[in-house]
Amino acid sequence: GDSVTQMEGPVTLSEEAFLTINCTYTATGYPSLFWYVQYPGEGLQLLLKATKADDKGSNKGFEATYRKETTSFHLEKGSVQVSDSAVYFCALSEAGAGKSTFGDGTTLTVKP
């Protein structure tokens, strides 16, 4: 079945540091890939997505590229801010599956 593996956290960075959160997946078909973010006390919200190989999703300075050859969708940001502190979830969705598969989430803390 489908699965998503995220790098284990928590991740602690200083403000303005470079961020990478690794995400790899296994799927039987050609899934769409997503990054969701969860701020403290809130539900998840979409950060970015990519729907086919080599697509790059971007939003709020975050980027991720759909790499079919390495089955990866790593999240990057060049300069993190304290306000980026949150839990980040990688997810995939396949047509016909009826549901999405989520990774376990990676907690990011950014210190001033």
Partner 1 sequence: NAGVTQTPKFQVLKTGQSMTLQCAQDMNHNSMYWYRQDPGMGLRLIYYSASEGTTDKGEVPNGYNVSRLNKREFSLRLESAAPSQTSVYFCASRKGPAQLVSTDTQYFGPGTRLTVL
Instruction: List residues near partner 1 by CB under 8 A.
Output: 31-32, 34, 36, 42-46, 49, 51, 89, 91, 93-100, 102-105
Q: How many CB atoms lie within 10 A of CB 102?
A: 16
Question: Minimum CB separation from partner 1 for residue 29, in Å?
Answer: 8
Query: Per-residue b/e over 58-91, b at no fewer than 16 CB within 10 Å?
Result: eeeebbbbbeeeebbbbbebeebeeebbbbbbbb
* CB nearer to partner 1: pick between 1 and 112: 1
Question: Minimum CB separation from partner 1 for residue 69, in Å?
Answer: 20
Question: Minimum CB separation from partner 1 for residue 58, in Å?
Answer: 15
